[in-house]
């Protein structure tokens, strides 16, 4: 059994750790509020934009409803956008994304992976570290500078639409030029404070079916809307579709950011509770050890007294 000094040191150490996890939980809660406001503010805009595209598509024939981003080519070169966080201490948040990304690559795109034609665009340091450690081909988010050269973008150091728009434009440009044939996104969707769900969806190419809204929004927009088009329907759709794709990527990153803070808050709350339980167990062990030491001392004193009287 550990001596009393060792147990007292462990109790002090666990209490210090508990204070840290409690503080981290409070910080995560504050950040979560801002991140939650951001994603909840973005969703109505994204939904309305998709509703406009849906209504426009209903007024266009299938022949007219075309876009360079709808070109369904054989997926020889694939890009998977994996969105994690820059920091850990958020439970299985990052590992779930890495596992899902690896499973997607090795199952759905095994041929492309074997040929070296599969690349991961890692948004978040944990995705970069985890996938690079497994020796997958990874690249960082990029944008074009004033000279037209590609440079790295630190997404979470300055999370705003401008940075995401620039990154999305590089991906769209690569798809148009044929450098990429298929783009998938994997991220954690923010459901509520304690629940996140891993989502995987095809980003490019988009299909005519994916332009149409969900059944709930279709019902809401069931009445046909008359438009006066200026310029033509085709030009408007060509403008709206890239904008919708950029919003889709930005919304996925905002979702992941809110989910990260929710996961970290839950993880730190659990760690704080575990520390409290451990302190209770250590105090019980300390009291038992102290009682045993006192009893031993009393027995030694009594034994010594009896020896003197003998």
Distance CA 148, CA 142 (A): 12
Distance CA 167, CA 83 (A): 13
For 225-256, give the DSSP string: -----SS-HHHHHHHHHHHHHHHHHHHHHHHH
Q: Residue 197: CB partners within 8 Å, gap ≥ 6?
A: 188, 189, 191
In this structure, the strands spanning 78-83 and 182-192 are: parallel
Strands of 138-139's sheet, edge to edge? 138-139, 118-123, 78-83, 182-192, 195-204
H-state helical runs in 59-157: 93-107, 110-114, 125-133
Distance CA 136, CA 166 (A): 24
Backbone angles phi, psi at 90, to 5 degrees: -135, 40
Concerning whether 90 is annotated as a catalytic residue, the answer is yes
Distance CA 3, CA 82 (A): 49
Which candidate in 14, 90, 98, 265 is catalytic? 90
Which residues are catalytic, by number? 90
């Amino acid at each position: 059994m550990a001596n009393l000094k060792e147990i007292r040191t462990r109790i002090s150490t666990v209490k210090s750790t508990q204070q840290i996890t409690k503080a981290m939980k409070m910080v995560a809660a504050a950040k979560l509020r801002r991140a939650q406001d951001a994603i909840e503010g973005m969703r109505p805009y994204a939904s309305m934009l998709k509703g406009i595209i849906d209504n426009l598509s209903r007024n266009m024939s299938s022949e007219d409803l075309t876009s360079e981003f709808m070109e369904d080519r054989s997926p020889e070169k694939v890009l998977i956008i994996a969105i994690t966080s820059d920091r850990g201490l958020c439970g299985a948040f990052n590992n779930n994304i890495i596992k899902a990304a690896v499973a997607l690559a090795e199952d759905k795109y095994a041929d492309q992976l074997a040929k070296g034609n599969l690349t991961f665009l890692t948004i978040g340091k944990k995705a970069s570290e985890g996938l690079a450690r497994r020796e997958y081909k990874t690249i960082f988010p990029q944008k074009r500078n004033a000279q037209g050269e590609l440079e790295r973008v630190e997404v979470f150091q300055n999370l705003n639409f401008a940075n995401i728009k620039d990154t999305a434009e590089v991906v769209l440009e690569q798809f148009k030029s044929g450098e990429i044939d298929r783009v998938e996104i994997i991220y954690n969707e923010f459901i509520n404070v304690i629940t996140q769900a891993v989502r995987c969806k095809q980003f490019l190419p988009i299909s005519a079916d994916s332009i149409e809204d969900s059944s709930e929004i279709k019902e809401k927009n069931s009445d046909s809307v008359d438009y006066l088009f200026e310029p033509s329907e085709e030009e408007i759709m060509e403008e709206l579709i890239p904008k919708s794709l950029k919003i889709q990527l930005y919304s996925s990153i905002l979702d992941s950011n809110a989910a990260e803070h929710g996961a970290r808050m839950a993880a730190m709350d659990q760690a704080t509770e575990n520390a409290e339980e451990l302190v209770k167990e250590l105090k019980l062990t300390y009291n038992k050890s102290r009682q045993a030491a006192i009893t031993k001392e009393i027995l030694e004193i009594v034994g010594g007294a009896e020896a003197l009287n003998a």
